[in-house]
Amino acid sequence: MTPRLRLIVGNWKMHKTIPEAVGLVEHLADLLKKSPPTNVTIVIAPPFTALSAVASALTTHGLFEGTGGGTSRPGSPPVSIAAQDMHWEDAGAYTGEVSPPMLKDLGCRYVIVGHSERRRYFGETDALVRKKVLAALRHGLRPILCIGETWDQRARNQTGSVLAAQLTEALTDVDKDQGADVVIAYEPVWAIGSGQPATPTQAREAHRHIRARITARWRHETGERVPILYGGSVTPENIGELLAIREVDGALVGGACLDPPQFARILAVASSAKA
Ligand code: PEP
């Protein structure tokens, strides 16, 4: 089986105006040009308002991988863009929402769904997450499905059952062929933005559990192709240790991706990590 490419996703959350977003991309492009990462797939998820400007800035630097494929300069992997959320319908009376075709239009290849901040602050349920996963796949967007337990659930030894329930709910009706396009991000809620990442043992255990579930669901061949990312307080200092875990295929990075030198260092460590 060919090794899964390291996948590093930067989630900007609700940060950066358009000029700030372009400035961040310019800085990042400069760093990538100076020391191009290898063996790594790079995705960034700016807010909706900045997606178009970010795609243009990446294009200017020959770094944009849009829906039609890459335009990367030699030596440097291209950068894809993701949305941080979306509605599941193509169009309709849903004030304030953004649909899958709108994201495709902007050149998005990925979309984050079920982030714990959406579950926590906006009441997003597993049933809604499922609709979003199916809509993304229907439109050729790769869903980055976020799952993870709270500290209380971990303390009550419920981590395995919480992950299993979230996976079952979100992936019902996703068949084996579609499964190969799903990305899963294990993000313990207590580790997000806390400065306290999961220990390697905790991450390994959770990732093994997730892998076992999806290989059982979609059979070995497809289940093995699904990248499982770790997310929660990833930094340049701890990414090496996390990627050294065989079961960890990449990372979903929040805070550290807003700082181009830190994000570039994370990409550099990911490049040198053993697949
Ligand atoms: C996230 O937002 O998905 C995340 C992992 O954030 P942070 O890296 O800041 O913990």
Contact 181, 141 (CB under 8 A): no
Q: How far apart are CA 166 and CA 146, in angstroms?
A: 9
- If DSSP states are collapsed to H, E and C, what string results for 194-225? CCCCCCHHHHHHHHHHHHHHHHHHHHHHHHHH
Residue 117 DSSP SS3: helix
pLDDT in tens, 103-112: 999 999 999 9
C-alpha to C-alpha distance for 274 and 270, rounded to whole angstroms? 8
Tell me, yes or no, if 237 is annotated catalytic: no
Ligand 1 centre distance from Cα of residue 255 (Å): 6
Pocket-forming residues, ligand 1, beta carbon under 6 Å: 11, 13, 187, 192-193, 231-234, 252-256
The structural domains of the chain, ordered by start, are 6-272 (3.20.20.70)
Catalytic residue among 115, 117, 149, 207, which? 115
Confirm whether 187 is a catalytic residue.
yes
pTM over 0.85: yes
Nearest CA to ligand 1 atom 1: 254
Residue 198 predicted with pLDDT over 90: yes
Best residue among 192, 230, 257 to mutate for probing ligand 1's pocket (most ligand atoms within 8 Å of CB) is 192
Q: Which amino acid is at 190?
A: W
Query: Nearest to residue 120, comparing CAs of 151, 94, 144?
Result: 151
- Per-residue pLDDT of 22-42, as tens digits, reads 999 999 999 999 999 999 999
**Residue 122: per-residue pLDDT:** 97
